[in-house]
Amino acid sequence: MTHTVSPLGSASSVPAPQRTNSKRGSKVSNNVRKQYLGFFIEEFLKTCSSRQEAIKKALSEEKVIFERSTGRFMYLNVAVQALKILRNLTEEPTASDGHSSAKRRRSSSGTTLEGVSKLIVKVFNVRVAPRDGCCQVEERMSGAALYRVLKDYVLTEEQLKENGYPRHNPDRPGAAILSNGETKKYIADSLIQVCNRCGRSFSVTPEGSYISKEECSHHWGRIIKRQVSGSWDARYSCCGGSLSSVGCQVAKLHVYIRKENLDGFVKTFLKLLPLDGNPGVYAVSSEMCYTKQGGELSRVSVINANLKVVYDVFVKPENEVIDYNTRFSGVTREDLMDAKTTTSDVQSALLGMLSADTILIGHSLDKDLLALKLIHSMVIDISVVFPHSLGLPHKRALKSLMADYLSNNVPVNVEGAEKGRACMELMMWRVKHDGKGRKW
């Protein structure tokens, strides 16, 4: 069968694009795929020795683009960029006799698109980012240059204290202090705790045994305020119930986070700078479960500036688990059954990975550092970089920020490594937005 390609690159008889089980590009129509397949065939005909070889390569490259695209706009963007790269690779200088060197062009085809994403992301160091209904390939800053830019967003000491970050206690080695008044609030009577879900007070012994076992009726959703007929109507996002309504969920026991437990903290320390002058940039995300002694670390994930997972482990709680908090953490009983890593093991790993100069990024990172029992000063808090319109103590939810600044495809739950990736992506967006028209 002979395939003829028009001068515009559309095929009058183009083979059907390769089918795939991937759901990522499912919103891309077959007509669009066929059109860009024709463009690829036209480009590969310039370098391939036969039409059959050109069609084979075009089918392969189009399939890669389709499988790596989350939707139509990303597909179109990557396809256009890939075609530009391919055309540049086939534009060879003429030979000394004035004729184009076909041999040289053919050799260049061997180094074309080894998987479009590899070439775009790794060689040209750019990323595809859907935004505001369109996609564009944008330059991605990295290394020491990224570190220098991000330093402008690091919280000051006053901001760290205001946002409840654990700080070094000069009077007690290995202990932390909170400077926003929360410690005093709970130390007044350590037998009385406040449920982290329903807000009711209940009593526990110093060993964590419940003095009175009460069911916890609560709403797991956030409070959403809407303006209706000139007034504000506040309701829970989980069930739409009013603030005075009975909780839509019932748990066997109340749960809490023991704020006065500020022992066992470690502090990152100064290290010699690497030769490239980059102490590192990481996004950190932790998950917690509820035990008889309050909240305890159950998982920690660390993402580097290239959105790669560099550390991701489930952590064995020290005390009996009351609630795995699976709805929000994604961590299940099965995940922790075979977990052997302790909080102390995690601290040792992080101290080896980080230095006092390393920038850590996270959403409400104070909670993560409290769970990790880690004191660190070079912090970028997404909830501060993207503040709530009402100011503290109000903070915008991470899912809301993802929907507004990254894409509309926000998962139901954002947990573990995905939370870290989202924080890193949000900071990349912030840097790009704030740096428009600025030479780095």
- Predicted pLDDT at 138: 43
Q: Which amino acid is at 249?
A: Q
Considering only residues 273 and 351, tell me which one the structure prediction assigns the higher pLDDT: 351
Which of 125-139, 251-265, 328-342, 351-365 shows the lowest per-residue confidence on average (mean pLDDT)?
125-139
Give the residue-averaged pLDDT of 204-232.
Answer: 80
pLDDT greater than 80 at residue 15: no
Question: Which pLDDT score, from 0 to 100, does residue 344 have?
Answer: 94
Once rounded to an integer, what is the mean pLDDT over residues 21-38? 69
Using pLDDT thresholds of 50, 70 and 90, give the confidence band for residue 188: very low
What's the pLDDT score for residue 24?
44
Predicted pLDDT at 141: 66
Task: For 379-433, write each residue's pLDDT tens digit.
Answer: 999 999 998 877 777 888 888 888 888 865 555 456 678 889 999 999 999 998 8
How high is the pLDDT of residue 375?
A: 96
Alpha carbons 25 and 12: distance in angstroms, whole number: 24
For residue 135, the model assigns a pLDDT of: 38
pLDDT band for position 366 (cuts 50, 70, 90): very high
Residue in this structure with the two tokens 């007034």, named with its chain if needed: 231
Q: Which range, 87-91, 191-195, 302-306, is most confident?
A: 302-306
Q: Which residue has the higher pLDDT, 434 or 381?
A: 381
For the segment 59-103, what is each residue's pLDDT rounded down to a tens digit?
A: 888 888 887 776 676 677 677 777 777 777 655 444 444 444 443
Instruction: Work out the percent of the chain whose per-residue pLDDT is above 90.
Output: 26
pTM for this structure? 0.62
Residue with the bigger pLDDT between 293 and 155: it is 155
Q: Where are the domains of the chain?
A: 30-140, 144-176+265-434, 178-251
| pLDDT mean over 99-119 | 42
Cis peptide before 393 (omega within 30 of 0): yes
pLDDT at 166: 92
From 26-40, 311-325, 363-377, the region with the lowest mean pLDDT: 26-40
- Asked if pLDDT for residue 44 goes beyond 50, the answer is yes
The mean pLDDT of the chain is 77
23 vs 389, higher pLDDT? 389
- What pLDDT, on a 0 to 100 scale, did the predictor assign at position 27? 62
CATH superfamily of 144-176+265-434: Ribonuclease H-like superfamily/Ribonuclease H (3.30.420.10)
**Is 440 exposed, middle or buried, given 0-12, 13-18 or 19+ CB atoms closer than 10 A?**
exposed
As a whole number, mean pLDDT of residues 107-118 equals 42
pLDDT at residue 347 tops 90: yes
For residue 41, is pLDDT > 80?
yes
Give residue-wise pLDDT tens across range 236-287. 888 888 888 888 888 888 888 776 678 899 999 999 988 888 999 999 999 9
- Across-strand partners of 289? 296
Residue 424 CA, distance from chain mean position = 6
Which of the pair, 268 or 227, is modelled with greater confidence? 268
